[in-house]
Amino acid sequence: MIHRRRVTAIATLACVALLTACNPATSDSENTTSGASSSAEATNAAAEPITFTGDDGAEITVDNPQKIFALEDSVIEIADALGVADRIAFIPKSSDVPELAPKAEGVNTAGKGSLTVEGVIALNPDLVVATNRRHEEIVKGLQAAGIPATLIDRDQHPADIVANVATVFGVKSDGEAMAKDIRASFDRISAAVADVPEADRQRVLVVSTSGAGGNISGGGTQTPADFIIKAAGGINAGAEAGIKRFSALTPEGVAAAQPDLIVVADTELEGLGGEEGIWEKVPGLAATPAAASKSLLVLPNSAIRIGGLSAVDGAAALAETMYPDAF
């Protein structure tokens, strides 16, 4: 039976679960480059313009970008891991990881009309990196205006996200090495849970306080949470119910989903009633198997909402929680 568990240092837990080094982008068999060597690669490649085809199919060319507008936290996280976050000049004010790009200026991007093509042009960035989750029209407008801007598909494998971000930042080889190790980490998780019988697969519901206009929401498809649930061998009860991204939950929907395990972000636990109060705070939750066994996993927000590098540790923590005998 699964009981309440709060994971605050998932990198350490992932080490135990995967029997690998704590850095998800390193392995015993390969030496991945450090942030310092990444910076060196970027410096050595500075003379060569970067031609990159984004996941929107648009080709851009940038010449040693040093004033980058990163519109997505996953991009910021990856740039930091690669040692090139100092090239990020602008990030959203709403970013959950501003400490990873301490030199960057916060820009208001929240709310309809808060971010415009003209507003971005006025900042004079030499590269804008966004994802397909939002700002797609902004990127199209910037491309039409001749500003280097590209889209990264957030729904692809985290290893591919890392490789694409690294390429556009000018540290392609470092990104490829990191991506290789990330993919290997996911392969190890998959192998560990491969023999779990289908009847024993855990049904997981990600519950959130955001994404539904102030209402309690559940995580469905097209979310980093959906990826880590599947990677860990679980069933996303929200996705199975037809939820896309984070959408409002109904008491009837929660009860019908019959989750075995509830997953919440550490930054949202208090707003959901805390470890003791969540079962009554979330309408319909008391009538689920998860409530009966008080099965709750608290993960860092980055693992649920950012994805990218955080997805490795999140999936490892989730897999070990659901299937401890597999590790």
What pLDDT, on a 0 to 100 scale, did the predictor assign at position 12?
35
Residues 164 and 69 in one domain: yes
What does the DSSP assignment read for 59-89? EEEESS--SEEE-SHHHHHHHHHTT-GGGEE
Let me know: does 206 contact 263? Beta carbons within 8 Å.
yes
Residues 101 and 202 in one domain: no
Residue 232 is part of which domain span?
A: 195-322
Residue 134's nearest CA partner among 75, 87, 89 is: 75
Q: What Cα–Cα distance (Å) separates residue 275 from each residue in 6, 25, 161? A: 9, 32, 33
Number of H helices, E strands in the chain: 14, 14
Residues 201 and 93 in one domain: no
Residues 149 and 202 in one domain: no
Lowest pLDDT segment from 72-81, 127-136, 145-154, 164-173: 127-136
The answer to whether position 188 is within a domain reads no
Mean pLDDT calculated for residue range 111-118: 86
Q: Is 243 helix (H, G, I), strand (E, B) or coil?
A: coil
Last residue of a domain, one of 147, 177, 207: 177
What pLDDT, on a 0 to 100 scale, did the predictor assign at position 311?
92
> What band does 18 get if pLDDT is binned at 50, 70 and 90?
very low
| Helix, strand, coil % over all residues of the chain, rounded to 5 | 45, 15, 40
Residue 168 has pLDDT above 80, yes or no: yes
The answer to whether position 109 is within a domain reads yes
Residues 169 and 69 in one domain: yes
**Distance (Å, whole) CA 99 – CA 103:** 9
Last residue of a domain, one of 130, 147, 177: 177
The answer to whether position 10 is within a domain reads no
The predicted-structure confidence for 242-299, as pLDDT tens digits, reads as follows: 999 999 999 999 999 999 999 999 999 999 999 999 999 999 999 999 999 999 999 9
Residue 2 has pLDDT above 80, yes or no: no
What's the pTM?
Answer: 0.84
Mean pLDDT calculated for residue range 100-116: 90
Residues 72 and 122 in one domain: yes
Residue 4 has pLDDT above 70, yes or no: no
Mean pLDDT (the chain, rounded): 87
- Which pair of tokens denotes residue 12? 């350490």
Q: What residues have CB less than 8 Å from 252, skipping those under 6 apart?
A: 284
The predicted-structure confidence for 186-226, as pLDDT tens digits, reads as follows: 999 999 999 999 999 999 999 999 866 778 999 999 999 99
| CATH code for position 131 | 3.40.50.1980
Mean pLDDT calculated for residue range 56-63: 94
Residues 78 and 106 in one domain: yes
Residue 43 has pLDDT above 80, yes or no: no
What residue spans of the chain are helical by DSSP H?
10-18, 35-44, 73-81, 117-123, 136-144, 158-169, 172-193, 224-231, 237-240, 251-257, 274-281, 289-293, 301, 310-322
- Which pair of tokens denotes residue 171? 């540290």
Residues 217 and 162 in one domain: no
Residues 209 and 265 in one domain: yes
Residues 203 and 171 in one domain: no
The answer to whether position 21 is within a domain reads no
Residues 111 and 220 in one domain: no
What pLDDT, on a 0 to 100 scale, did the predictor assign at position 41?
52
Residue 70 has pLDDT above 90, yes or no: yes
Q: Which class for 276: exposed (0-12), middle (13-18), buried (19 or more C-beta within 10 A)?
A: exposed
Residues 214 and 157 in one domain: no
The answer to whether position 162 is within a domain reads yes
Residue 29's nearest CA partner among 160, 185, 162 is: 185
**Distance (Å, whole) CA 111 – CA 235:** 33
